[in-house]
Structure 1
Amino acid sequence: MSPTAQRISVIIPAKDQAPFIRDALASLERQVDDLRRLEVLVVDDGSSDGTGDLAARFHDRLPGLKIIRNETPRGLATARNQGLDASTGLHLAFLDGDDWLAPGHLASCSAGLEKLDVDFVRTDHVRVTGGNRTLHRAPQARRNVALDPRGSILPATESTMVDYPYAWAGMFHRRVAERGLLRFPDGLHTAEDRAWIWRLHLHCDSYAVTNAPGVMYRRGIASSLTQIFDARQLDFVPAYLLAFDVLRDDAQAERFWPKMIRQFLAISAHHLSRRGSMSHETGAELQRLIRNGLAVLPAAELAKAFRAMDKRRAAALRPLLPTAHTPETTSMRSSA
């Protein structure tokens, strides 16, 4: 189906979100003046708590609501892809089932896309932990102006837009989806947005950060994968292997490897710090996967990034460095 002019499609993957899905959908009623502009695609990913039934109660309130049901869970990445495939809007946005939007957020993003004529816009978000709300800004100071996505990848030593991978923090023009740049790696439960954000910044032509009202990002939920220590957390390694492939094929790969490697080292060290909360088997698999990931990185750049790490994180990662990639070995080879 051809994209409907000025229609906004909102894709909501939701697995067992019964306590929150009503908040998410109710917030969509206050997004645009004419709700016929809004297409809402809830992907009920094998929920066992009636999430899909609760969402269906909004049919009268959101005329563009569609429910896509997976009998068994297929993962966050695949659920988002299902929503993309079923969408018809000219402008595309993601919203997680436990989050919600400030009034007018989608209208503001859509207006920014049109006015600036960019491939995508990014926005700030508000982290909600219990009764506390904290504004987190997208790491790009220039606002409401068209920018080159590649120009926002570096420097390697500072937080940049590829460190802000949240799919729900922005809106995308249909042409980005038509180029295949919005799809997520099927089957991943976490870190599905890592290769995704790199692909956007390497292959899109333009973007902007706009001062939209905001996404309310709920934190500290017991059912959230950020709070769970099972094997699903290990998906960050295959996710980064895909990101390595995205960068490896780029003509400017050498320029951006330091940033990519610093990211992988930082997130690997973070997960290693949580190993005590994992089962023995999961912890061992975490170490194996990280070791395999480190082994495929450019040796000189890996050694340089490792030397720049703080002592605590470096100590956690040192046993997993392949011998041929250790800073000491690399230095000896370079001086030979």
Structure 2
Amino acid sequence: MPDISFLIACFNAERTVEAAIVSALAQHNVTVEVIVVDDVSEDGTLARATALAREEPRVRILAQEINAGPAAARNRALAAARGEWVAILDADDYVTPGRSERLIGLASEHASQVVADNLMRFRDDTPEVAWPLLPHRYGDEPFAVGLVDYLDRNRMTDGDATLGYLKPMFQRAFLQSNGITYDEGLRIGEDFNFVLQALCGGARFTITPQAFYYYRMVAGSLSRRLAPSDLEQLLDANDRLLAERPDEPGLHEAVQAYRRSAEDLATYSRFRSAVRQGAWGAILQGMAEPRLWGTMTQMLVHARRRRHVQQLAIRRAAGRYRPAAKA
């Protein structure tokens, strides 16, 4: 039984899937298997992954018969996994060689069933420029995240430094004993809902602010497009899950705040879509929404902050960054 099963769901990832697989195989001081599920790609993804598997017995390739989305692909990989731990790795991304050993050690130190690290984001066209998702306010030490914390730190209008973007590792025996699988009805937020299931099942979740995962920002990717109907499906799935959870201090307030932030984001997305299409009736209707202007202000502030962080990363990569001297 390997220490870790890497689960890679891929669709049209011909350019990047090899880097993802190779990074998983290069993990130090752990045994690894890599399970790649191709979701009926229209390019050479399946052929490239299959060629790698012919040369590397630790790689297994599974091909979907119909395109069913990332949740279904991950469920198929999860069902085939044999590792003590399962690690989610997107086909666009890669991990550093010491990541698995560090996270398994973190799990042992904190008796955790779910562990994650910070991630470094980089643009597909400038891979030498990278910056962390979680900002410095998270500190340097590992921290535990409970159910209320997880909801509070994933509000959709509080910027994009949210914990739902992280790619955790899960103890496979815990997932099996609690019957945790991906909700295949979700087109967005399936990773968030999966972690939410684990927390509702009593998992201890520990995160290190160190970053060993590299997240490629690809223009037009599915995770960057939002349809209000998809968002409503996510909210309904979360509500069904949380309805079975015994009440605990702060949970009701956290659920309501999370739902309000999601509804505000849906209103903002509809308004932006109406503006792009020049649909004046929908624009006027959106302008009458009392919370829209506050949401727009938040989104503009967060966008400005993202640009600032990216510019600092560009300057660092170019060797021009000089931190301000301490007084």
TM-score with structure 2 setting the length: 0.73
Q: Distance in 2 between matches of 1:122 and 1:161?
A: 17
Match of 1:329 in 2: none
Q: Distance in 1 between matches of 2:153 and 2:210?
A: 27
Match of 1:165 in 2: 164
Match of 1:27 in 2: 23
What do residues 178-218 of structure 1 show as CA deviations (whole Å, max 9, x unaligned)?
A: 13464111143322234323323333241211245421111
Q: Is the 8 A contact 1:152 1:160 kept in 2?
A: no
Match of 1:86 in 2: 80
Match of 1:7 in 2: 3
Residues 1:218 and 2:216 are matched in the alignment? yes
Q: Is the 8 A contact 2:6 2:87 kept in 1?
A: yes
Gaps of 5+ in 1: 288-305, 316-336
Q: Distance in 1 between matches of 2:152 and 2:120?
A: 25
Q: Is the 8 A contact 1:162 1:197 kept in 2?
A: no
What do residues 151-177 of structure 1 show as CA deviations (whole Å, max 9, x unaligned)?
A: 5246589869994223x5221112331
Moved more, 212-221 or 236-245: 212-221
What do residues 111-133 of structure 1 show as CA deviations (whole Å, max 9, x unaligned)?
A: 22233221111211111113231
Output aligned runs, 1:170-189, within 5 Å: 170-180=168-178, 182-189=180-187
Q: Distance in 2 between matches of 1:183 and 1:250?
A: 17
Q: Distance in 1 between matches of 2:52 and 2:201?
A: 37
Q: Is the 8 A contact 1:18 1:49 kept in 2?
A: yes
Q: Distance in 2 between matches of 1:218 and 1:185?
A: 24
Match of 2:33 in 1: 39
Matched residue SS, 1:106: helix
Q: CA deviation at 1:137?
A: 1.5
Gaps of 5+ in 2: 298-327
Residues 1:112 and 2:94 are matched in the alignment? no
User: Given the superposition, is the C-alpha separation of residues 259 and 163 from structure 1 closer, same or farther in structure 2, using an over 3 Å criterion?
Assistant: farther
Give the counterpart letter for 2:246 in structure 1: A
Q: Distance in 1 between matches of 2:52 and 2:275?
A: 39
Match of 2:207 in 1: 209
Matched residue SS, 2:28: coil
Output aligned runs, 1:190-269, within 5 Å: 190-222=188-220, 224-227=221-224, 234-252=229-247, 253-269=251-267
What do residues 283-321 of structure 1 show as CA deviations (whole Å, max 9, x unaligned)?
A: x9xx9xxxxxxxxxxxxxxxxxx97x4635499xxxxxx
What do residues 68-112 of structure 1 show as CA deviations (whole Å, max 9, x unaligned)?
A: 101221111111111111101001110111111122112211222
Considering only aligned residues, what root-mean-square deviation do their CA atoms show, in Å?
A: 3.5
Residues 1:311 and 2:287 are matched in the alignment? no
Q: CA deviation at 1:45?
A: 0.6
Q: Which has the higher contact order (CA 8 A, sep 6+)?
A: 2
Matched residue SS, 2:52: coil
Q: CA deviation at 1:17?
A: 0.6
Give the counterpart letter for 1:220 in structure 2: V
User: Given the superposition, is the C-alpha separation of residues 127 and 162 from structure 1 closer, same or farther in structure 2, using an over 3 Å criterion?
Assistant: closer
Give the counterpart letter for 1:23 in structure 2: A
Residues 1:135 and 2:123 are matched in the alignment? no
TM-score with structure 1 setting the length: 0.72
Matched residue SS, 1:73: coil
Q: Distance in 1 between matches of 2:20 and 2:230?
A: 26
Matched residue SS, 1:123: strand
User: Given the superposition, is the C-alpha separation of residues 64 and 265 from structure 1 closer, same or farther in structure 2, using an over 3 Å criterion?
Assistant: same
Q: Is the 8 A contact 1:120 1:206 kept in 2?
A: yes
